[in-house]
Amino acid sequence: MPALATTPPPTQTFNLTLTKALEGALPPYLPLNIQFSYDWNFAQNTGSATILSIGSNNTINQSMFPMGISKRLAFMARERFEVTIDGPEGSREEVFAYRVILNMDKETAEQRTAALMLGQEGDVIVATENWGATEVL
């Protein structure tokens, strides 16, 4: 007997860790933890996501909007915002973060990936270890 398909929870909060640099110099504050939440109505195929925190900065609450990619729950925060990140040996760094991408399988809400651009010009791009070469930022 085949397994019954289950719908992912409509609301979920989780953390992803960005560990690799896709472009630019490897920042000293990697690995970088990001906490996300999403709220998705699977019947109506609508919803949104939120960046709750980046690193030790727990006051982000940056809205993310659906990207409309088939068979994916994919969201992007387009606005540039300032973040304070704790670095090595107690250092702190003020950086700009923008174009944050969250991507996951729509059927399971698993296979989660994330990436973001950092710096004044977005010249550093960091991502989760499982970020694929074909994913676009």
pTM, rounded to two decimals: 0.89
pLDDT score, position 98: 86
pLDDT score, position 105: 93
The token duo for 136 is 């676009």
The token duo for 56 is 């030790």
Q: How many helices (H) and strands (E) does the chain have?
A: 0, 9
DSSP string, 41-102: ETTTTEEEEEEEEETTB----EEEEE---TTEEEEEE-S-EEEEEE-GGG-EEEEEEEEEEE
User: Counting every residue, how long is the chain?
Assistant: 137
pLDDT score, position 58: 67
pLDDT score, position 122: 85
- Report the chain's C-alpha Rg in angstroms: 15
pLDDT score, position 1: 47
pLDDT score, position 3: 52
Nearest Cα to Cα of residue 18 among 134, 125, 120: 125
The token duo for 121 is 């010009």
Could you give the maximum distance between any two Cα atoms of the chain, in Å?
A: 57
Q: Pick out the chain residues at pLDDT < 50.
A: 1
